């Protein structure tokens, strides 16, 4: 019962190879929405050389979105256009950008956000504090970390800083493969390596490195800090970091050298890796290539 959108559109300009005729995109259902954006499950017809219908995810802006949100989505599209395909980065399939509404057409990841996958895997008694069994094995959890490190190694090698790396921004496919998404904040900093944020929007405080929190400095190494927090989210099956602590107090604690505790069921070797990501000095943190090696070693030693 979906509808073709903008069915009368004609004469798509040839200049942008990413441009898809809007009437080839048919909306199936809404996947989710934030305050300014929406993501739709759609069928796209004859795109990317694929004959017939393909299930895709389409990101759009809501009517109340302002210029800033629009620029964020345009920026996200730009970053995605600049990347060659990688197995652990959500793939851009095309866009409808010649008139409003802007559509960013991406590959569809059936299981949705990693954060929900983690939370849904919890045993029934999680909230009574008696952990029931998880439908994810510890091997799978470390595999998620490894895949994300691999995707981030690729992005950082392209000079891309994500700046909002967190379980809510990782998507999971039907085959349980992790894909990095949500490049709305990402910046291509190939020329500067360290990005200085000029204005303050809503910030992901609990995932931010001290130099980002206090000096607005972002780099591949501030993404590494966030990766450590993301590992903590994975190991705790989607808990919110610094549970019960207000954001202002999180900042204070980080400044005073406090770090996330080792989760109850977390192996020391796993905690050591995340702790290494939280070195006060960015240069003393591992890079994503080293994180891949450390995580790979855990996976090998396990088997
Ligand atoms: O957990 P979810 O279903 O996964 O809820 C969110 C929602 O849209 C708002 O972001 C889902 N979503 C976003 N991008 C995609 C995608 N490429 N494939 C499948 N679901 C997606 C996300």
- Which residue has its alpha carbon closest to ligand 1 atom 3? 112
Q: Answer yes or no: is the C-beta of 39 below 6 A from any ligand 1 atom.
A: yes
**72 with 35: CB under 8 angstroms?**
no
Q: Catalytic one among 16, 100, 153, 164?
A: 164
Q: How many CB atoms lie within 10 A of CB 239?
A: 19
pLDDT digits (tens, 9 = 90+) for 31-71: 998 778 899 999 999 998 888 999 999 999 998 888 888 98
Centre of ligand 1 from the C-alpha of residue 110, in Å: 8
Does this complex have an ipTM over 0.95? yes
**Residue 256 designated active-site:** no
Q: What is the pTM of this model?
A: 0.90
Centre of ligand 1 from the C-alpha of residue 57, in Å: 8
Nearest atom, ligand 1, residue 117 CA: 1
Candidate from 30, 38, 39 with most ligand 1 atoms within 8 A of CB, to mutate: 39
Q: Are strands 217-218 and 187-188 parallel, antiparallel or unpaired?
A: unpaired
Centre of ligand 1 from the C-alpha of residue 40, in Å: 8
171 phi/psi in degrees, rounded to 5: -105, 155
pLDDT digits (tens, 9 = 90+) for 195-251: 545 444 578 999 999 999 999 999 999 999 999 999 999 999 999 999 999 999 999
Cα(63)–Cα(107) distance, rounded to whole angstroms? Answer: 24
The 8-class DSSP code of residue 163 comes to S
């Amino acid at each position: 019962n979906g509808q073709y959108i903008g069915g009368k559109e004609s004469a798509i300009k040839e200049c942008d190879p990413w441009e898809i005729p809007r009437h080839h995109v048919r909306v199936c259902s809404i996947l989710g929405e934030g305050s300014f954006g929406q993501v739709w499950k759609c069928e796209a017809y004859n795109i990317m050389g694929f004959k017939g219908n393909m299930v895709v995810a389409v990101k759009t802006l809501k009517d109340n979105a302002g210029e800033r949100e629009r620029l964020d989505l345009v920026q996200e599209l730009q970053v995605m256009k600049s990347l060659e395909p990688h197995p652990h980065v959500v793939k851009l399939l095309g866009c409808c950008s010649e008139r409003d509404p802007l559509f960013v057409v991406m590959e569809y990841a059936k299981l949705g956000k990693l954060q929900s996958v983690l939370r849904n895997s919890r045993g029934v008694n999680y909230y009574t504090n008696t952990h029931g069994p998880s439908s994810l094995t510890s091997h799978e959890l470390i595999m998620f970390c490894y895949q994300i490190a691999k995707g981030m190694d690729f992005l950082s090698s392209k000079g891309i800083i994500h700046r909002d790396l967190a379980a809510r921004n990782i998507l999971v496919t039907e085959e349980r493969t992790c894909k990095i998404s949500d490049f709305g904040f990402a910046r291509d900093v190939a020329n500067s390596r360290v990005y200085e944020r000029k204005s303050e929007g809503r910030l992901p405080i609990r995932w931010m490195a001290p130099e980002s929190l206090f000096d607005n400095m972002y780099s591949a190494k501030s993404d590494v800090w966030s990766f450590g927090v993301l590992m903590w989210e994975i190991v705790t099956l989607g808990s919110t970091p610094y549970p019960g602590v207000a954001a202002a107090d999180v900042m204070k604690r980080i400044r005073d050298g406090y770090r996330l505790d080792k989760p109850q069921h977390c192996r020391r070797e796993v905690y050591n890796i995340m702790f290494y990501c939280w070195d006060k000095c960015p240069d003393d943190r591992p890079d994503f290539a080293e994180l891949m090696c450390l995580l790979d070693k855990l996976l090998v030693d396990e088997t």
